[in-house]
Amino acid sequence: MKVKTVYLIESNHFSKSIEEWANSSSLAVEMLDGKTQDIDELIDAVVVFHENHTISKEIEDLQSLLDSGNRPGYRIDINGTLAATKSNFEMWLERNKPSKLLFLGNEDLPKNDNLQRFLTNLL
């Protein structure tokens, strides 16, 4: 795996779950102060976790901003098929070779047990 650092924007239930997982996976975690930082200069790519394509407007806007800065993005539906998502995500990582990923997701995602199942199997 080439990913070395996971970036998170705000301290909420989602970011705390990701931080715990990343620490147990020996990945560095960086918390960003907010959306006003020059995020596109800090990260290589963005990964959006969602349930059934439910994504907040804030996350959509941030991903659009990063897309316009030519930062690749990937979306993971935690209610989708794990095997297909894992395979596609691995190909995306190989093609884009990011080492610094911004992880985004709605605050209530950790309530879904599938989040941990996906995290455990993806990287």
Tens of pLDDT, residues 78-119: 999 999 999 999 999 999 999 999 999 999 999 999 999 889
Any idea what the CATH number is for the domain that residue 75 is in? 3.40.50.450
**63: closest CA among 74, 52, 50?**
74
**25: closest CA among 116, 108, 87?**
116
Sheet holding 45-50, edge to edge: 28-31, 5-8, 100-105, 45-50, 73-77
- Other Cβ atoms closer than 10 A to 92: 15
Where does the pLDDT of residue 9 fall: very low under 50, low under 70, confident under 90, or very high at 90 and above? confident
Which H or E run includes 30?
strand 28-31
**What is the percent of the chain where pLDDT is above 90?**
59
Can you give the residue range of the structural domain that contains 63? Answer: 5-122
Domains in the chain: how many in total?
A: 1
Rounded CA-CA distance 82/55 in Å is: 19
Please give the backbone phi and psi of residue 30, each rounded to the nearest 5 degrees, phi first.
Answer: -120, 130
